[in-house]
Chain A
């Protein structure tokens, strides 16, 4: 009983921090949503571009560039990363996944060059940072913590609003059409290569911006901070998607989809904190992320096959034939192979 109270206490204490983390990663996940869901392009550049955004932001702040401008440039640096992936795909015919991997690995070097070393501290004591994890410690009280969380929430809301507008424009339509049916899009006069590149640029720009916020929140840029980012992004997208469908059903519109992506990220970090609190060492975090994504990807598939599977067909067939005169061939060997 005491253990449970301690756990609850810990959970409550870490709540503001986890929500803040969730919102920052929610921004990244919204970037992933653009490629993964709208463009139907599994873009793995993300692991690199989030670090690029962080590195650019950190170096600029350290060199006295105003924080908002530094964040703007983390967006731009992400855009450039997306441009690389997009051009490799559109002009050189390199398959999407591979183009993303190439960008990601290339960015590792680029990021090291930008940062000059593997870890670059950006202390909130020295610089007027936009957000910091120092200010989300529960002990500081609501007066300090709440504005910090609201700032992050505002970032998410602004991004959702801009994307709502953009994907409602003529150009936004072409990106949605390209992701859905490239042949049809070309027949309607859409340059699908161009729209693919534009979507990748936009997506990675948002991811870069997330990196810029993340580096301030954490207080340092690290060359490995983006490792596995795509998996966390996907986890958020998928958790948000499943949750949104369940809660909103038919009213699960575009704005709700983006909002639920951010909610998915928050839930991811809440669950992660529970896992940590009950004593699973943090080494297992990545394993945990992979398992979460696996489960959420598998559920729709398994639910589908549960409705119609060879196993079920065999069972039904046994029922029918055992009622009649034909002796039932149970077909156990086959039934297991569905």
Chain B
């Protein structure tokens, strides 16, 4: 479904701020894989997702989605294959537009936009049913501006938008990090449900090791712009936070330096 081969990216090349963000990332995702990605500060987790989404062009390597090399496509063209949810709840929705208008935009992701009505009556009914599923009462506020919603509500809506038109790949970039623990758990649960129901191929960056272990069928650990540990199936099910920390030190030869990750070490989820 998704194959990354030796993807490299250097920011500010040739300057004092030069940063080798991706040093040859290779990854092969099967249809229906749900990968969680963890790693230290600046390990290249979000950068990997941005490379896939096409936020900027990569320096070398290939990114193949569904048999098609997308390296030459700008972000808006790749959107056809990709649904995304970002860390900042403000990022994923248009605040000055109505809830239903946001959904209508998302329903046309990757399609050419015509001069037909931006939202139809049939879609309104469809969105009403979908919003009910979120159980946040949003179905009764469809013509409210998204800017009036809370961070958790906006994140749930973004998740729904990202999957409204079934994406080949769903990219979740620390999408619960800005939420309070209770809301974060709810949004995570919703992510699980949507991914399972639609049998989506998904990648989730998280700083929460427990969450990374609990969710998905595969776990990838990154350091210094490389994948240093990749585990799936039975091995992944048997993982614990301690094993992960040990693996990290073995593979990278250093202590884990992600403060948020260590803080959350003992958190329940």
Contact = CB atoms under 8 A, between A and B. Distances in A.
A180 B96 CA distance: 6
Interface stretch (A153-161, A181-189, A292-300): A181-189
A169 B116 CA distance: 5
B91 A170 contact: no
Contact of B114 (A170, A188, A189): A170
Given A169-B118, A188-B106, A174 B113 contact: yes
Interface string A167-197: 0111111101101110111111111100000
Interface of A: 166, 168-174, 176-177, 179-181, 183-192
Q: Chain B at the A interface: mostly helix, strand, loop or mixed? A: loop
A176 B96 contact: yes
Interface in B91-137: 91-97, 101, 104-106, 108-111, 113-119
Contact of A172 (B76, B84, B90, B118): B118
Contacts of A166: 115
B236 interface: no
Given A170-B108, A180-B96, A187 B113 contact: no
Contacts of B4: none
B75 A187 contact: yes
Contacts of A177: 94, 97, 105
B186 interface: no
A168 B76 CA distance: 21
Nearest to B92: A184
B232 interface: no
B123 to A, nearest CB: 11
A189 B117 contact: no
Interface of B: 53, 74-77, 79-80, 82, 84, 86, 90-97, 101, 104-106, 108-111, 113-119, 161
A185 B115 CA distance: 18
A189 B109 contact: yes
B255 to A, nearest CB: 34
Contact of B118 (A168, A180, A188): A168
Contacts of A191: 74, 76
A174 B110 CA distance: 12
B146 to A, nearest CB: 9
Contacts of A185: 76, 94, 105
A188 B109 contact: yes
Contacts of A173: 97, 101, 104-105, 113, 118-119
- Which of A180, A189, A190 has the most C-beta atoms of chain B within 10 angstroms of its own C-beta? A189
Nearest to A173: B118
A113 to B, nearest CB: 35
Contacts of B119: 173
A188 B101 CA distance: 13
A174 B105 CA distance: 8
B114 A169 contact: yes
B84 A187 contact: yes
Given A168-B118, A171-B114, A173-B113, A187 B79 contact: yes
Contacts of A186: 75-76, 79
Contacts of A172: 118
A75 B116 CA distance: 24
A52 B108 CA distance: 37
B53 A170 contact: no
9 contacts: A168-B117, A171-B115, A173-B101, A181-B90, A181-B95, A183-B91, A184-B91, A184-B93, A186-B79
A285 to B, nearest CB: 34
Nearest to A253: B143
A189 B92 contact: no
Contacts of A190: 76, 79, 105, 113
Contact of B79 (A168, A180, A181, A188): A188
A186 B75 CA distance: 6
B76 A192 contact: yes
A181 B93 contact: yes
A176 B102 CA distance: 11
Contact of A171 (B79, B97, B113): B113
A189 B54 CA distance: 11
Given A188-B109, A190-B105, 7 more contacts: A166-B115, A169-B116, A176-B94, A180-B96, A181-B90, A183-B91, A190-B113
A180 B114 contact: no
A185 B105 CA distance: 9
Contacts of A171: 113-115
Contacts of A174: 105, 113
A180 B97 contact: yes
Contacts of A187: 53, 75, 79, 82, 84, 92
A189 B93 contact: no
Nearest to B53: A187
A177 B146 CA distance: 12
A180 B167 CA distance: 24
A157 B180 CA distance: 48
A189 B77 contact: yes
Contacts of B106: 188
